[in-house]
Structure 1
Amino acid sequence: MQFRKRLFGLVVGAGLALNAGAAFAQKGETVKLAFIDPLSGLMASVGQNQVRSFQFFADKFNNDAMLNPAGVKFEVIAFDNKLSPTESLTALKAAIDQGVRYITQGDGSAVAAALIDAVGKHNDRNPGKEIVYLNHSAVDPDFTNSKCSYWHFRFDADTSMKMEAMTTFIKDLPDVKKVYLLNQNYSHGHQVAKFAKEILGRKRPDIQIVGEDLHQLAQVRDFSPYIAKIRASGADTIVTGNWGSDLTLLMKAANEGGYNGKFFTFYTGVSGTPTAIGKSFEGKIFQVSYNHYNMGGQMGEWQAEYKKKFNDDFYTGSVIHIFNALSQSIAKAKSTDPVKVAAALEGLRFKSFNGDVEMRRADHQLQQTLYMTTWQKASAEFPYSPENTGMTLAPVKTFEPYVSSTPTSCRMKRPSSRPA
């Protein structure tokens, strides 16, 4: 309950700062949040898990004043975008037609790019009907650099931040000597490869990049040719930003193909992948993320409740960040108007499950603690077993926000009524 106690202290402080009535000025008002992600196709298991996560925590925040200082009621409306930018724009229009003023998406940076552009254009053309985009998982660094938008806020750590943490860990592993980069052929995969080469070259210039491949997103059903190629390269380590079915099928092929090197990943704990790994690769798979399965405390209680309710694992912790930030910024703004809430979100600092976090004003990138975890047998110390594999992702290194924070080139264009 430590997180809830910290949050309660923050809520009380906010109430004193705003005055007792102001924090609850919008109490009972419904705030609609459109979820636009894949609910069909190869990545459906990820999207379905995430929409359940949003609905689960909407209910938590709707029924707990300690969590929800604004006192509003959150309603999640799901749209299946089939992992398509075009379908996502259709979903965005449908959401707007239903009176939605807040949207969330995260599965696929190509989709995120289309939504950032569309939301910006909509807001320019429709003053008084603005939309705010709360990005839960799309991690292309450009979104908070060259393509940054006032209306976009990211609650995951971007690829450059995760790679800073990952390479800080790798640089102290002398047995990592030959690295193979295998990634999805779209902006996210390109950025993983780019930053891996750039940062490893700076921190460990002795490491050889012995191969690099990009493959189509959610199209490959058999990764055995890639595993054969990786084995032939002599790589002792694979760095991959793959997620969903693309990581699940990669791990299946690695198991069947006899590859016994290390994996450095972003999404090992995501639907389907733990089962594909099984009891293999103990101590050889690493994941960098802003949360993990063995955080304990309130997060552990929520994970256990989620698993009991859905027979599934909760892993998209940014859902909690989003409801936290949205409720607190609504309370701060004393309004659910997206223009006022966006202004309140800028620079917002709050307590969350991974400590003190801040929505950096310069680029709308959340600054937060990251963790390195490794795949090993579940134990009394680290008991949570994703997909009932008997294995877990146990923490081996914590990276405070300053370690992985990266500079931004964002030149934020703010509404004319806003100070620069």
Structure 2
Amino acid sequence: MHVPFRCATMALAALLAASVQAQPATYKIAYIDPLSGPFANVGELMLSHIQFAVDDINAKGGVLGGTRLQLLQFDSKLSAQESQSALQAAIDQGARAIVTGGSGSSVVTALVLSVARWNQRNPGKELLVLNHSSIDPEMTGKACSFWHFQTEANTAMKMKALANYIKKTPDVKKVYLLNQDYAHGKQWASYGRQLVGLARPDIQFVGETLHPIGRVKDFAPYLANIKQSGADSVITGNWGQDMTLLLKAAGDAGYDLRYFNHSAGSIPGTVLAASQAKLGQLTWVAEWHPGQADMPRVDALAKAYKAKTGKEFLAPRIDFTPRMLAAAINKAGSTDTPKVAAALENLSFDSVVGPVRMRAEDHQLLLPQVVNTIAPVDGKAVKVGWDGTNYGFRTDAVYSGNELAQGTDCKMIRP
């Protein structure tokens, strides 16, 4: 009597096994960045870029001839503690790679340390961290990790680009340093003093202030101090609402300043705030800016992105972060994390902004940087308006990744 039952059970098991085998394999990527709070718009923009790239990779066959990428989403809430909880949830759901960067360098650093500990204790279940926006040079310096890869130019590289430009800008004479009170803000101020001071020894630094990140509602008191100092320019690492509210306060006060920033134009609302202020010149640096001339591959990607999402495309590096991961998986011929990490080292990638290379000694991507200024459309230097305004971006200077490359204190420990 037990034989038919056993046969039926075996047949059912075989059917279930066949069903499992028929399902396409997946490689899970966990997105951990702010999706709520004052910087939610930044996190949503980054997520949209990554999701578009993942969908495009899958539409073209995925990786390894059929493995699909699956994007999991977690809200970091701009908190190291919340990010740790998100990391554990990602691990529980089978993630093999973490994509992050918009949570700030202190949060991303905590994630990298946690991943390194997890990897050491769980061989065979290792994770990678791909960092598209946190630009603390320590992350590819003294605090470098074999498991961490930075796909954005770091603070020193960006400030070197700005310093090179300021060297040729004689009307910058007195500089105030206004920055958010956390690791990145302090570093933006420090590298500003160091590299701009080196490029222009005649410049006077007339003041320095750190303010709470994401909590200042009115920058008028800070602007009053800047005005009292006699500054004509501000080096600020502010981003998100801290940048837009600063521009608003300056416009309300009628204070015509120059600002030097790392990524302002790629954050939603900044161009609108600059156009409404009508005063000041906001100069920033990125791998590309909207309306940049002679960039047909980015133009085509931006057009496809907007057609699918209804949103403006702003950050090629975020788009090509998962594409570089996919290229490394295919190069390795495996989804085994140590093999994928080894394949990412020294990976040369033909990105839409030109060839980029992941430097093996510290896992810092070498990519071009474009110094550009938010300015009114004039039909010549600025041909395209942005954010529904008649303001766009003027190209001021372009530097290659090799021109901006810095030395590194990284002593990479490989498994």
- TM-score normalised by length of structure 1: 0.88
Counterpart for residue 77 of structure 1? 72
**Partners in 1 of 2:319 and 2:94 — Cα distance?**
23
Describe the superposition over 1:28-79 as per-residue Cα deviations: whole angstroms up to 9, x where unpaired.
Answer: 63221111011110001100111111111111222136x9786542221110
Contact 1:69 1:328 in 2 (8 A): no
Amino acid at match of 1:321: F
1:244 corresponds in structure 2 to 240
Aligned residues with identical type, % of pairs: 42
Per the alignment, residue 314 of structure 1 pairs with 313
The 5-angstrom pairing of residues 9-408 of structure 1 reads 29-64=25-60, 72-107=67-102, 108-269=104-265, 270-278=267-275, 280=277, 284-295=281-292, 296-378=295-377, 382-408=382-408
CA distance in 1, matches of 2:328, 2:354: 18
1:281: Cα distance to partner? 5.0
CA distance in 1, matches of 2:331, 2:170: 49
> Using CA pairs below 8 Å that are at least 6 residues apart, which structure has the higher relative contact order?
1
CA distance in 2, matches of 1:37, 1:237: 31
Assess if the C-alpha contact under 8 Å between 2:251 and 2:276 holds in 1: no
**Gap change, CA 1:61 and 1:221, over 3 Å in 2:** same
The 8 Å contact of residues 282 and 377 in structure 1, kept in 2 or not, is answered as no
Distance in 2, Cα, partners of 1:220 & 1:148: 32
Kept in 2, the 8 Å contact 1:312–1:387? The answer is no
C-alpha distance in 2 between matches for 1:354 and 1:324: 13
The answer on whether the counterparts of 1:68 and 1:324 sit within 8 Å (CA) in structure 2 is: no
CA distance in 2: counterparts of 1:182 and 1:283, whole angstroms: 15
Structure 1 residues 235 and 196: CA distance shift in structure 2, 3 A:
same
Structure label with greater radius of gyration: 2
My pick for the range that moved more, 182-191 or 290-299, is 290-299
Provide closer, same or farther for how the CA distance between residues 248 and 283 of structure 1 changes in structure 2, counting only shifts above 3 A: closer
- Code of the aligned partner of 2:285: V
For 1:245 and 1:252, how far apart are their aligned partners in 2? 10
Question: What runs of 5+ residues in structure 1 fail to find an aligned partner?
Answer: 1-26, 416-420
Query: What is the Cα deviation at residue 393 of structure 1?
Result: 1.4
**SS of residue in 1 equivalent to 2:210:** strand
CA RMSD in angstroms comes to 1.9
Gaps of 5+ in 2: 1-22
Cα separation, partners in 2 of 1:70 and 1:372, compared to 1, 3 Å: farther
The alpha-carbon distance between structure 1 residues 169 and 152, as it changes in their structure 2 partners (threshold 3 A), is: same
Q: Which residue of 2 aligns with 1:24?
A: none
In 2, the alpha carbon distance for the partners of 1:70 and 1:109 equals 35
